[in-house]
């Protein structure tokens, strides 16, 4: 029996993670949301929901008490490109919000999952097979909140014994809820264009490699890290995880295997391109594999096949 609060339950990760947690666990799996982003359809009907604004510590504490929550998934964040446009808000949500969550977790003895990102790395980080423990020198507000969040989460673990855990997510690709305002979003948008028979305008330049992951693997990672035996964890905040790395040409070729007429042209967005160039090409996820058995199931071609089948079911 597990009682879980998902803060940001209607976002790209939350909408799918909430449903998966409800499939797995018997207890209260509470969909936390902010007004204007209410749960709908099956997400609304399949379990309890509550208004939980991460910037409101009292709302978090009341929901944790009401549902006897033992685990909090803290998924509220602005993605990288939006965070550059609204750095103050990104800090307020990313750091102020995390502080609220950690304080409630300390008082009420909850475990906490807060995703980090490949955005935690920067220009001085080794680009290829980026090690688990290395330089974290992001130059974006998104990255600054991710590194600070990793440090603060480890602090709460060491100082107060709060069970904080995290993974550094790559770009996440899903056919369910689209991302909004990320640098890796092109790798989702490209599938929508391909299935709709549209030419895709790619905002990221050829030869720009980033780590990506199919959502089913990302959801498994978020659940498995929280279920891992704590005695085996040398690291906590945050683990490199990886499954595939590609540039726009490679994902375009993968789509063309299934949709030969698909066309792509480049219309590079300077902001997203600069962010992408500051991030690693690929991560080394050896520590996650060794400490809690992480193993991805999807590679680029199996993801492409599934994305196209699922999006065709929706659009055709």
Draw the binding track, 127-156, toward ligand AKB (x: CB under 6 A; -: no contact).
---------------x--------------
Q: Give CA–CA dist 309/223, Å, rounded.
A: 26
Which residue's CB is nearer to ligand AKB, number 51 or number 274? 274
Give residues 209-228 in contact with ligand AKB (rule: CB under 6 A).
Answer: none
Residue 126 CB, shortest distance to ligand AKB, in Å, is 18
Query: Which residue, chain included where needed, has tokens 């520590």?
Result: 287
How does 150-189 read in b/e, with b if 16+ C-beta sit within 10 Å?
bebbbebbeeeebbbbbbbbbbbbbbebebebbbbbbbbe
259 Rama class: left (phi>0) / alpha (psi -120 to 50) / beta: beta
Which residue's CB is nearer to ligand AKB, number 33 or number 142? 142
Residue 192 CB, shortest distance to ligand AKB, in Å, is 16
By the rule CB under 6 A, 119 interacts with ligand AKB:
yes
Structure tokens belonging to residue 263: 């066309």
184 Rama class: left (phi>0) / alpha (psi -120 to 50) / beta: alpha
Among the listed residues 60, 102, 111, 118, the single contact to ligand AKB using CB under 6 A: 118
Which pairing describes strands 244-246 and 171-173: parallel, antiparallel, or unpaired?
A: unpaired
DSSP assigned state of 117: E
Give residues 41-100 in contact with ligand AKB (rule: CB under 6 A).
Answer: 79-80
Residue 186 CB, shortest distance to ligand AKB, in Å, is 9
Q: Give CA–CA dist 221/288, Å, rounded.
A: 10
Which pairing describes strands 29-33 and 4-7: parallel, antiparallel, or unpaired?
A: parallel
How many positions of this chain bind ligand AKB (CB under 6 A)? 13
Tell me the backbone φ, ψ of residue 45, rounded to 5 degrees. -80, -20
Residue 74 CB, shortest distance to ligand AKB, in Å, is 14
Helix (H, G, I), strand (E, B) or coil at 152: helix
Give residues 32-51 in contact with ligand AKB (rule: CB under 6 A).
Answer: none
Residue 178 CB, shortest distance to ligand AKB, in Å, is 11
Are the beta carbons of 298 and 246 closer than 8 angstroms? no
Structure tokens belonging to residue 239: 């683990």
Which residue's CB is nearer to ligand AKB, number 27 or number 181? 181
Which residue's CB is nearer to ligand AKB, number 80 or number 193? 80
Annotated catalytic residue within 33, 73, 142, 214: 142
Which pairing describes strands 210-214 and 239-240: parallel, antiparallel, or unpaired?
A: unpaired
By the rule CB under 6 A, 117 interacts with ligand AKB:
yes
- Only segment of 22-30, 35-43, 51-59, 116-124 that touches ligand AKB (CB under 6 A): 116-124
Residue 263 CB, shortest distance to ligand AKB, in Å, is 24
Q: Is 142 a catalytic site residue?
A: yes
By the rule CB under 6 A, 281 interacts with ligand AKB:
no
Structure tokens belonging to residue 6: 């998902």
Which residue's CB is nearer to ligand AKB, number 10 or number 117? 117
Give residues 160-189 in contact with ligand AKB (rule: CB under 6 A).
Answer: 169-171, 179, 182-184
Q: Which helix (H) or strand (E) holds 210?
A: strand 210-214
The residues of the shown chain that bind ligand AKB, judged by CB under 6 A, are 79-80, 117-119, 142, 169-171, 179, 182-184
Q: Which residues are catalytic?
A: 142
């Amino acid at each position: 029996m597990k009682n879980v609060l998902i803060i940001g339950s209607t976002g790209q990760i939350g909408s799918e993670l909430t449903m998966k947690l409800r499939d797995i666990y018997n207890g209260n799996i509470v969909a936390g949301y902010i007004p204007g982003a209410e749960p709908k359809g099956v997400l609304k009907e399949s379990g309890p929901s509550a208004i939980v604004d991460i910037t409101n510590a009292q709302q978090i504490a009341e929901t944790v008490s009401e549902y006897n929550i033992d685990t909090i998934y803290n998924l509220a964040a602005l993605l990288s490109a939006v965070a550059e446009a609204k750095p103050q808000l990104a800090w307020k949500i990313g750091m102020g919000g995390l502080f609220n969550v950690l304080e409630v977790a300390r008082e009420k003895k909850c475990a906490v999952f807060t995703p980090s990102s490949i955005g935690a790395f920067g220009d001085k980080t080794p680009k290829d097979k980026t090690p688990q423990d290395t330089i974290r020198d992001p130059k974006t507000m998104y990255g600054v909140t991710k590194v600070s969040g990793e440090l603060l989460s480890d602090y709460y673990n060491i100082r107060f014994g709060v069970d904080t855990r995290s993974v550094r997510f790559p770009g996440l690709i899903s056919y369910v809820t689209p991302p909004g305002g990320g640098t890796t979003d092109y790798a989702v948008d490209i599938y929508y264009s391909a299935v709709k028979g549209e030419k895709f305008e790619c905002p990221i330049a050829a030869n720009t490699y980033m780590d990506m992951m199919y959502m089913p693997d990302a959801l498994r990672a978020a659940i498995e890290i929280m279920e891992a035996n704590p005695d085996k964890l040398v690291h906590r905040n945050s683990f490199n995880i990886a499954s595939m790395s590609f540039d726009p040409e490679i994902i375009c070729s993968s789509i063309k295997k299934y949709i030969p007429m698909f066309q792509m042209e480049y219309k590079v967005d300077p902001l997203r391109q600069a962010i992408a160039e500051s991030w690693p090409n690929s991560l080394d996820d050896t520590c996650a594999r060794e400490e809690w058995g992480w193993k991805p199931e999807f590679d680029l071609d199996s993801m492409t096949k599934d994305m196209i089948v699922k999006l065709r079911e929706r659009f055709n």
